[in-house]
Structure 1
Amino acid sequence: MQILPLLFAVLLLMLQGEPVMSQGKREKCLRRNGFCAFLKCPTLSVISGTCSRFQVCCKTPWPA
């Protein structure tokens, strides 16, 4: 039972660091004229990277 608070603290630190990393990836995707989508890109767009663990960076094959 004494290890439970330690595991909770480690889990909290891991989850806290995730949005900071994904925010940088999201901005990089937007700078490349892409957009973030959940798990897969919509029709007529292709995956060009990742935004976070469950989001991909999508881009249309033609310029807007």
Structure 2
Amino acid sequence: MRILYLLFPFFLLLVQGAAGSSFAPGNKEECQRENGYCGFLKCHFPFVISGKCSRFFFCCKK
């Protein structure tokens, strides 16, 4: 019974990490829908990488 107290927080952390990873854009259409653009390997200064458009293109957003 004592192990349930240890497994429950671990399970919550696992579920939280899995839920947060799905918010990033996964393709070009999702990136453009969220007012971003696809940049080759990097983003220019005011933009940061927020997902992937394809293998070498990343979604850049402010």
TM-score band (shorter)?
Answer: 0.5 to 0.7
Moved over 2 A (4+): none
Gap runs ≥5 in structure 1: 1-23
Instruction: Give the root-mean-square deviation of aligned CA atoms.
Output: 1.2
Pairwise CA distance, 1:30: 0.3
Gap runs ≥5 in structure 2: 1-25
Aligned residues: 37
TM-score by length of 2: 0.56
Q: Percent identity?
A: 59
The alignment partner of 1:29 has SS state of helix
Read off the aligned partner of 2:29 and give its amino acid letter: E
The alignment partner of 2:27 has SS state of helix
TM-score by length of 1: 0.55
